[in-house]
Each structure stands twice: as structure tokens, then as C-alpha cells.
Amino acid sequence: MNYSRQRELILKTVKENKIHPTAQDIYELVKEKSPNISLGTVYRDLNFLAEAGIIRKIDIGDKQIHFDGDISEHCHFVCLDCGKIHDIERKDYCHDENKNLIAKGFIPLRKDVIIYGQCPVCNKKEREN
Amino acid sequence: MNYSRQRELILKTVKENKIHPTAQDIYELVKEKSPNISLGTVYRDLNFLAEAGIIRKIDIGDKQIHFDGDISEHCHFVCLDCGKIHDIERKDYCHDENKNLIAKGFIPLRKDVIIYGQCPVCNKKEREN
DNA sequence: TCACAAAATAGTAATCATTACTAATTATTT
DNA sequence: AAATAATTAGTAATGATTACTATTTTGTGA
């Protein structure tokens, strides 16, 4: 009995919205279809799904946790101008093979890579001014 | 008048303590030498110093911000068992040259890399049990 | 089909790191 | 030394997240 109507809806919403939504974002989106859903339920279910590895948490240091329905290997680019979070494919960033770390006895299990900078749109705007 | 007695002491404490302390850690350390310093001052000065690029903020997703007096290029390894934050040298992780990103119009300015896993000490403990 | 037990929910209260605020203090400038 | 500007201590406020509880939902097995 793991998937209630609310939980299914929350999962669907995270998968469909590629904007890397926060819990609050999800809450507002889900409320359109399930008006009296509780914010607590949204938080609980998002954590449940992340724990199960079905969605992914992203911490970009803006005090709110973002969620990503795409759990394929990729990293994130945060634009310091507009704040948008862009997906970066594996081939677009060099991936550490961790050889040296492993040689020293570390067991790398998870790596969070977040690149901050200026996205193409904001860079274009700046060049035009 | 940028460097008050308190601010100097906070900076010195961050530089001397390699444990990647939180604001609360710093507050307790600094209180030994300056007993009636305020927690607000510690937060304000740590942010001031980070803003100035003299120290570095680290967000490892444990709800508290950690600070690092070492601003040389390195990333962090967080042990999922003991929670300790280890410094990882540049040569021990493959560094992205960002060529592909730049070709697509992104301007990478800062990259936060945090690797989570098991440190050598915790791995040894596990193998012994 | 129906009752029972386990899990999930809604709604609200509590938590806790961080920030904001203010009056008092300290440092800098002329 | 007076005027001015920055900094501080202490406290209150903020806001995302978690905890709690009574109620509802859901799956299961007789």
C-alpha cells in the first residue's frame, strides 16, 4: 500500500515539471487537481520518493530544496543572474573516475556537482546592453 | 574600519580550525576568548568574510552552513557514516575544463563539487566487523 | 463482501538555523 | 575632541521543514 492517490499525483507532477520545483511549487501545482492536499503530505511524499531513489533532491544553497524527476546521471548549472537551474549532460562535464580517491581508501558513493554562472540567455542580454 | 577585534578573532578561528565548522561551532570557540560575543555577530562576520572571498561557505545538505578558511581549489568528501568533511586535492578529482559548456554559451563561474561516501576510517571499521 | 490492521492524510503546532532590528558602543576623520 | 560611520550585543522575527494527532483511506484475508 505504498502509492496513494496523492503520492501518485505528486510523483507525476515532479516528473512532468522540468523546472526543478521546490516543495512549495509542487504543493501549488498539485492543489489544482487535489485542492485540499496538505503541505505536510507534499513534504512527506517528496522525501519518501527521494529516499526510494525515484526522484532526486537538489540543494543549490538557496534555502529551499529542489526536486528533480530525472534521476539519470547529470549535473546542474545555476544561473547567478536569473536563478534558473539547467540540466547538464554527462558529456558536457568531465566526470571523475575516482581512481585516486579509491586508491586512498575512500569509497565514493554519490557526487553532487553544481556549477554556478551565467546562462546563455542572461549572457546574451548582458552583451546587448 | 573593516576589521574589528571580533571580526579578526572570527577570521583567525576559521583559519585555524580545519574541521569545516558551522557558525555555532565558531561561536563556541570564539566565546572562550571573547565571552560576550553575540551569535548574530558571528553570522554577520562569517557572511561578510565569505562575501569578500576570504573564507568559503560549504553546503553539504545537513541544514547548517559550514565554513572553510582554506580557499584554495579543492572539493569535499563527506563520509556518510561519520559525517566528517575531508578535503580533496585538485589532483584527486578530475577537473572539468568546461569547454563544452562554454561552447554552448554558458559562462561557468563557480563549481561546487561534493562527493559523499565512506571515508577510509569508517571503511576499515566496517571491514573489521 | 465486510471487518480489521496498517499506512497515509489534513491540519496544525513546534523546531531551529538564520536574518532583521535597534539602541549602545567603538573606531575613524577632520 | 566633536562629528560621522561602522560594528556590536541582545533580542525578536522569519521561514522552510518536521513532528504530532486524530481521522480517513487502503489492502488483505476470512
Give mean pLDDT, residues A93-115.
Answer: 79
DSSP string, B58-120: EE-SSSSEEEES--SSEEEEEETTT--EEEEEGGGSPPP--HHHHHTT-EEEEEEEEEEEE-H
Residue A120 is predicted with a pLDDT of: 92
Does the CB of A117 have a partner CB in chain B at under 8 Å?
yes
Which chain A residues are within 8 Å of B92, Cβ to Cβ? Answer: 100-101, 104
CATH: 3.40.50.880, 3.30.1490.190, 3.30.70.1710, 1.10.3210.10. Which one for A74-128? 3.30.1490.190
Residue B7 is predicted with a pLDDT of: 93
Contact residues for A53 (Cβ-Cβ < 8 A; gap 6+): A71
* Angle, vertex CA A82, rays to CA A10 and CA B43, nearest 5: 90
Span B82-122, pLDDT tens digits:
889 999 887 777 656 677 888 888 888 888 888 889 989 99
Residue B92 is predicted with a pLDDT of: 75
Residue A104 is predicted with a pLDDT of: 87
The Å distance, CA of A48 to C1' of C3, is: 30
Q: Say whether domain A5-68 belongs to CATH 1.10.10.10.
A: yes
Residue A96 is predicted with a pLDDT of: 60
Is residue B11 scored above 60 in pLDDT?
A: yes
Residue A1: pLDDT band with limits 50, 70, 90? low
Residue A7: pLDDT band with limits 50, 70, 90? very high
For the ranges A37-41, A95-99, B74-78, B89-93, the one whose mean pLDDT is highest: A37-41
Does the CB of B90 have a partner CB in chain A at under 8 Å?
no
The Å distance, CA of B4 to C1' of C28, is: 12
Residue A80 is predicted with a pLDDT of: 85
Q: Percent of chain B having pLDDT more than 70?
A: 95
Which candidate from B86, B88, B118 shows the least CB-CB separation from A107? Answer: B118
Identical fold between B5-68 and B74-128: no
Best CA proximity match to B88, nearest among A105, A71, A51: A105
* Torsion angles phi and psi, residue A58, rounded to 5: -130, 125
Does the CB of A53 have a partner CB in chain B at under 8 Å?
no
Residue A24 is predicted with a pLDDT of: 96
Is residue B1 scored above 60 in pLDDT?
A: no
Which candidate from A80, A100, A123 shows the least CB-CB separation from B92? Answer: A100
Closest residue in chain B to residue A75, using alpha carbons only: B113
Instruction: Among all protein residues, pick the one whose CA is nearest to the C1' atom of C28.
Output: B1
* Angle, vertex CA B25, rays to CA B49 and CA B113, nearest 5: 60
What is d(CA A60, CA A43) in angstroms, rounded to the nearest whole number?
18
Nearest nucleotide to B48 (CA to C1') is D7
Residue A94 is predicted with a pLDDT of: 62
Half-sphere exposure at residue A81, Cβ-oriented, CA atoms within 13 angstroms? 14
Which candidate from B108, B114, B120 shows the least CB-CB separation from A115? Answer: B108
Query: pLDDT averaged over chain B?
Result: 89
- The residues of B between 46 and 65 with beta carbon within 7 Å of nucleic strand C are 47, 63-65
The domain segmentation of chain A, as residue ranges, is 5-68, 74-128
Span B21-37, pLDDT tens digits:
999 999 999 999 999 99
Query: pLDDT averaged over chain A?
Result: 89
